[in-house]
Structure 1
Amino acid sequence: MTAVLRDIPVIATDRLVLRGPLESDFAAHAAFYTSPRSHLVGGPADRFQAWRIFLSGLGHWALRGYGMWMVTERDGGQPVGRVGFINGLDWDEPELGWHLYDGYEGKGYAYEAACAARDHGARHFGIAAPISYIVPENARSLALAERLGASFERDGTVVGTPCQVWRHPRAGAA
């Protein structure tokens, strides 16, 4: 029997569904976290550590009332990545974060999902102008932050790693 937190909202866009994680999503999650692709978000991790990261996402929803959604294709339900809000231990404030699984970049999925998550966060979680922690060598995330209208705010650190803090525009700002 599969258990899920029933309070995780489901968001549908034209091509994607943002929903809570299911155990059946773990294979895609583990493939990402055990690969070198995850080095910009705390990986690589072994399969056991990937499982802990997966479960911590559910704990975040339970404790904070918001978290990372599993992003799936609307047609077929294939997991393409995760997007949402993280406010970890010693974080400055809630972060809008994202990562896509192998083979799903370059399709506009991260932009579509991040816009939907950011809008939902402003309307339902009171996160009107989130930050994103981005390591300077992550050119794809920097480009996405700019496309989302975020701007460089300052240098910072997250989990002991130097990064840049990018501020997203306040909800409703032109």
Structure 2
Amino acid sequence: MLICETERLILRKFTLDDAPFIMTLLNSPTWIEFLGDRNIHTEEDAQLYLSNGPLASYAMRGFGLYLVALKDTNIPIGMSGLIKRDGLEHVDVGFALLPAYTGQGYAYEAAKAVLDYGYKTLHLPRIVAIARADNKHSVALLGKLGMKFSDNVMLVGIDQPMCLFK
């Protein structure tokens, strides 16, 4: 289940047992502000999110979103991974952390590990990213990862244009 590890983090596939953590992450203020309310209010909702999202992606594509945990304590702090979205030609990298773990370099560390995994292990030809223009922290992180703004795109299920980074 381990996908990759860094100096401080491990990234592994989600399981249905991660439903309580998913409830916490997807209901955090920054998730709701920048990624939207997914209506995950019960452990069953969270298990459905996992089944229809990351677990289905692993089965269909061989990759998806992964749980990010602190290496020393195994405490889950967020998610990062690769997503193939309708409307985007290439796979995109995504990341989200619980608010208590932002501003410490964890998102960069996780996203960089996922990019390396995507290119070196999965041999993906190109990985892009999307972010809302007003999500300054994500936009800055994408720049730090070497990505540059390319275009604004409209995607299925998102009611506003997203910035595409390549």
TM-score range, shorter chain: 0.7 to 0.9
**Is 41-50 or 142-151 further displaced after alignment?**
41-50
Match of 2:14 in 1: 21
Q: Which amino acid aligns with 1:88?
A: R
Structure 2 unaligned regions, length at least 5: none
Structure number with the bigger relative contact order (C-alpha 8 A, sep ≥ 6) is: 2
Q: Which moved more, 1:143-152 or 1:82-91?
A: 82-91
Instruction: Report the Cα offset of residue 9 of structure 1.
Output: 4.6
Task: Tell me which residue corresponds to 1:88.
Answer: 85
The answer to whether the 8 A contact 1:133-1:158 is kept is no
- Structure 2 Cα separation of the partners of residues 152 and 144 of structure 1: 12
Residue matched to 1:147: 144
| Pair 1:126-2:119 in alignment | no
Cα distance, 1:119 vs structure 2: 0.5
Alignment RMSD, CA only? 1.7
Q: Provide, for residues 94-128 of structure 1, a one-character-per-residue CA deviation record: whole Å limited to 9, x for no partner.
A: 11111111201011001011111101100122224
Structure 1 length as normaliser, TM-score?
0.84
Matched with 1:53 is: 49
Q: Which amino acid aligns with 1:43?
A: D
Of the structure 1 ranges 87-96 and 9-18, higher mean CA displacement relative to structure 2 is found in 87-96
Given that 2:68 and 2:77 are in contact with CA atoms closer than 8 Å, whether structure 1 keeps it comes out as yes
Cα distance change on mapping 1:80 and 1:28 into 2, 3 Å: same
CA offsets 1:20-79 (integer angstroms, 9 cap, x no match): 113343222211212332122232523254433222211111101111111000011000
Query: How many residues in Structure 1 have an aligned counterpart in Structure 2?
Result: 160
Write the distance in 2 (CA, Å) between the matches of 1:139 and 1:44.
22
Q: Which has the higher helix share?
A: 2
Distance 2:98 2:151 in 1: 28
Query: What is the aligned-residue identity percentage?
Result: 28
**What residue in structure 2 maps to residue 11 of structure 1?**
4
> Secondary structure at the residue paired with 2:154?
strand
1:111 aligned residue: 108
What letter corresponds to residue 48 of structure 2 in structure 1? R
Tell me which residue corresponds to 2:154: 157
Separation (CA, whole Å) in 2 of partners of 1:52 and 1:42: 17
Aligned position for 2:165: 166
Question: Partner of 1:41 in structure 2?
Answer: 35
In structure 1, distance between residues paired with 2:133 and 2:60:
30
